Amino acid sequence: MEPATALLIAIGTVILLGLGAFGATSLREGEHRAARVALGLALALSLPFFLVALLDSPFRWAMLGLTGVAIVAGTIVFLLPIGQVQRDREEPTSRIDERDIMFARARLEPETPNYEAYYTLRPKNQASDDRTRALPGILSPEASEANPPVFAATDATFEYIEELHDAADGPVAPDREAVQAGPTTGYLKGFARYWGARDVGITELRPYHIYSHIGRGKGVYGAPIALDHRYAIAFTVEMDRQLVGTAPAAPTLLESARQYANAAAIAVQLGNLIRSMGYRARAHINGNYQVVAALVARDAGLGEIGRMGLLITSGLGPRVRLGVVTTDLPMLTDHPGYDPSVLDFCQICQKCAENCPVRAIPIGDRAEIEGALRWRIDQELCYRYWCVTGTDCARCIAVCPYSYPDTTMHNMVRWAARRSGAARRSVHRLDRAFYGATPAIRSAPSWLPPKPASTTHDRSRQQMQADASIDKQGETHGNN
């Protein structure tokens, strides 16, 4: 066999097997569109090489020459500094008041002292918030995604998390152990992973990490927060992709609650361990934070803040929940997770914004907020949609290209996207081709009870948008 013929057959075989393997992987992941596209391309792109291998020698060498030019040109383009995003004003210059986030505002009850105090402080938020309170609400049987058995299980998990609030802090052992920062850091990270954490990082605690005033959880509402710990341990826990993919249906909130609970259990155990060593420690868990978890996690090296306002991690994207423990135990810190490649990809992608049911995620460039450049979601509109569906939506997490499984093939794509602006633009186009601009909503696992027909409160997308958007007033504030 002539060398040109052998090379053409080898190239065709590599293309066929490579795309075929991607198609098979996509089938296992439940991505049927991606599988069809991959298998179609496997045949369409490999067949010309096999056919030209049957032709005369000049045609074979011409095909090889064109292939070589394409490879060289592609390599050069992928090495060019396209899409470089410079770090600029990444650290906020002011602290966020927890009373201003929707989770805190939603808890306010009319004719109570806290209600009166807040709306005296922020009168322009009152009309908008009162209209939000008039909607069915999260886990409401009147919500559009109401599923009583799943909602009951979810509520039970949130009750468990609330029971852990009292365990977030506690007495410190009187005898302080002598520790070395290096071994202690490895020891605590190892235990966090042993208890279920996916990734763990450490940062020095900075003023902008800490909420300025208490808005929920333990403590006096409206009291200033004076957290003087020096370090923060941040970690992630993985959310199940199939359940998140059902968003905005009930199973996605079930999974959210489960991972908030797992994060809370890990944080409480870490806090207990550190206090037993004679050092102060506080666990920051769902409903009882004193810190902005995403900012802490970014500065602890776990990821970058993306367009949807959530932490984009290297292996799972935003498909994680966060836990934080603050302490004065000496530890070694990690480098911040500033990642220009994520900022660049979020700039060109916008898939989360396009798929947000109520368009609460901004289109366009980052803007200066609290002294830092960032994208800010419209938290009132986002939360109002939650109160219509009864879930925490999570559609943005489900469609994000960074949320694909942590597998070899997806990680090869992530590797290229981190290193090349041209690769990021190619990945963006390929993601649309393989997975679609509007991915299909996934089915829930068969063991979960379906939404009962007798409790279904179906609304069209347009009607739910209208419900969430009614008479929107006021400005937006920082999200957790």
pLDDT tens sequence across 196-243: 999 999 999 999 999 999 999 999 999 999 999 999 999 999 999 999
pLDDT band for position 476 (50/70/90)? very low
Q: 285-301 in b/e burial notation, b at 16+ Cβ within 10 A?
A: bbbbbbbbbbbbbbbbb
Q: Is the pLDDT of residue 462 over 60?
A: no
pTM given for the model: 0.91
Q: Is the pLDDT of residue 480 over 50?
A: no
Average pLDDT, the chain: 92
Q: Is the pLDDT of residue 1 over 80?
A: no
Lowest mean pLDDT, pick from 307-316, 403-412, 460-469: 460-469
